[in-house]
A and B are shown apart, each in its own frame.
Chain A
Amino acid sequence: MTVTSPTLPLALHIDRVRKAYANHVAVRDVSLSVPPGTVYGLLGPNGAGKTTTIRMMLNILRPDSGRITMLGLPAGHSDLLNRVGYLPEERGLYKKMQVRRVLRFLGRLKGLSGADADRRIDHWLERLGLRSGGEDWSQARVEDLSRGMQQKVQFAGTMLHDPELVVLDEPFSGLDPVNAQALKDSVLDLRRMGRTVIFSTHVMDAAERMCDAVAIIARGEIVADGSLRALKSQYGGANRVLVIFGGNGRDLARPVLEDRELVARFEDLGQQVEIDLAANAQAQTLLQALVAREVEIVRFDRLEASLHRIFLDKVGATGVEAGVSGHG
Chain B
Amino acid sequence: MGKLFAVIEREFMERVRSKWFVLTTLFGPFLFAGLTIGPPILAFRSARAVDVSRMVIVDATQVGAGNGVATELAGGLTSAATPPTVIAVNAETRTPVVDSLRALLAADRIPAAVILDDSSVASGAVRVLLAGGAPLATSERVQRAAERELLRRQIATTGIDVAVAERITRFSVSAKVERVLRDGRSGSAQVNIIFGAGVAVLLYIVIVLYGQIVLRGVTEEKQSRVSELVLASVPPRVLLSGKVLGIGGVALLQLGFWTSSLLVLMANREKLLAAFGVAGGSMALPTIGAAELVPLFAYFTLGYVLYAALFAAVGSIVSSEQEAQQAQTPVIMLLVGSMALLQPALADPDGPIARAMSIVPFSSPILMPLRLGLVSVPAADLAMSLSLLSLTAVGAMVAAGRLYRTAMLMYGKRPSLAEVFRWIRNAD
Interface residues of A, Cβ cutoff 8 Å to B: 55, 58, 60-62, 81, 84, 86-88, 90-97, 101, 105-106, 108-111, 154, 157
Contact A108-B225, Cβ < 8 Å, known A81-B234, A96-B14: no
Are the C-beta atoms of A94 and B14 separated by less than 8 Å? Answer: yes
A118 CB, min distance to chain B CBs, angstroms = 14
Check if B232 is an interface residue, CB within 8 A of chain A.
yes
Interface string of B208-240 (1 = CB under 8 A from A): 000000000000010111111111111000000
Are the C-beta atoms of A55 and B409 separated by less than 8 Å? Answer: yes
Are the C-beta atoms of A111 and B2 separated by less than 8 Å? Answer: yes
Apart from A62-B428, A87-B229, list 20 A-B contacts with CB within 8 A: A60-B228, A60-B231, A61-B409, A81-B232, A84-B232, A88-B228, A90-B228, A92-B223, A92-B227, A94-B14, A94-B221, A94-B226, A96-B14, A106-B229, A108-B2, A108-B6, A109-B3, A109-B7, A110-B233, A157-B229
Task: Compute how far the CA of A110 lies from the CA of B2 in the bound complex, rounded to whole angstroms.
Answer: 9
Are the C-beta atoms of A109 and B228 separated by less than 8 Å? Answer: no
8 tightest A-B contacts by CB?
A: A92-B225, A108-B6, A109-B233, A92-B224, A90-B225, A86-B232, A88-B228, A92-B226
Tell me what chain A mostly uses at the interface: helix, strand, loop, or mixed.
loop
In the complex, what residues of A have CB within 8 A of residue B148's CB? Answer: none
Q: By CB atoms of chain A within 10 A, which of B14, B228, B234 has the most?
A: B228
In the complex, what residues of B have CB within 8 A of residue A101's CB? Answer: 10, 14
Task: Compute how far the CA of A325 lies from the CA of B328 in the bound complex, rounded to whole angstroms.
Answer: 29
In the complex, what residues of A have CB within 8 A of residue B221's CB? Answer: 94
In the complex, what residues of B have CB within 8 A of residue A106's CB? Answer: 229, 233
In the complex, what residues of B have CB within 8 A of residue A60's CB? Answer: 228, 231-232, 405, 409
Are the C-beta atoms of B6 and A105 separated by less than 8 Å? Answer: yes
Contact A154-B14, Cβ < 8 Å, known A94-B224, A109-B3, A111-B2: no
Name the residue of chain A whose CB is nearest to the CB of B231.
A60
In the complex, what residues of A have CB within 8 A of residue B234's CB? Answer: 81, 109
Are the C-beta atoms of B233 and A81 separated by less than 8 Å? Answer: yes
Are the C-beta atoms of B14 and A88 separated by less than 8 Å? Answer: no
Task: Compute how far the CA of A105 lies from the CA of B428 in the bound complex, rounded to whole angstroms.
Answer: 26
Are the C-beta atoms of B233 and A154 separated by less than 8 Å? Answer: no
Are the C-beta atoms of B232 and A92 separated by less than 8 Å? Answer: no
Name the residue of chain B whose CB is nearest to the CB of A21.
B410
Contacting residues of chain B (1-45) with chain A, CB-CB under 8 angstroms: 2-3, 6-7, 10, 14, 18
Task: Compute how far the CA of A101 lies from the CA of B232 in the bound complex, rounded to whole angstroms.
Answer: 18
Are the C-beta atoms of A92 and B229 separated by less than 8 Å? Answer: yes
In the complex, what residues of A have CB within 8 A of residue B223's CB? Answer: 92
Name the residue of chain A whose CB is nearest to the CB of B234.
A109
In the complex, what residues of B have CB within 8 A of residue A105's CB? Answer: 6, 10
B357 CB, min distance to chain A CBs, angstroms = 39
In the complex, what residues of B have CB within 8 A of residue A97's CB? Answer: 14
Task: Compute how far the CA of A235 lies from the CA of B64 in the bound complex, rounded to whole angstroms.
Answer: 126
A192 CB, min distance to chain B CBs, angstroms = 25
Name the residue of chain A whose CB is nearest to the CB of B419.
A22
Can you name 20 A-B pairs with beta carbons within 8 Å?
A60-B405, A81-B233, A86-B232, A87-B229, A90-B225, A91-B225, A92-B224, A92-B225, A92-B227, A93-B229, A94-B14, A94-B221, A95-B224, A96-B14, A105-B10, A106-B229, A108-B3, A108-B6, A109-B230, A110-B233
Task: Compute how far the CA of A1 lies from the CA of B78 in the bound complex, rounded to whole angstroms.
Answer: 113
A174 CB, min distance to chain B CBs, angstroms = 13
For B226, give its contact among A84, A93, A108 (CB under 8 Å): A93
In the complex, what residues of A have CB within 8 A of residue B225's CB? Answer: 88, 90-92
Task: Compute how far the CA of A157 lies from the CA of B226 in the bound complex, rounded to whole angstroms.
Answer: 12
In the complex, what residues of B have CB within 8 A of residue A96's CB? Answer: 14, 18
Name the residue of chain B whose CB is nearest to the CB of A89.
B228
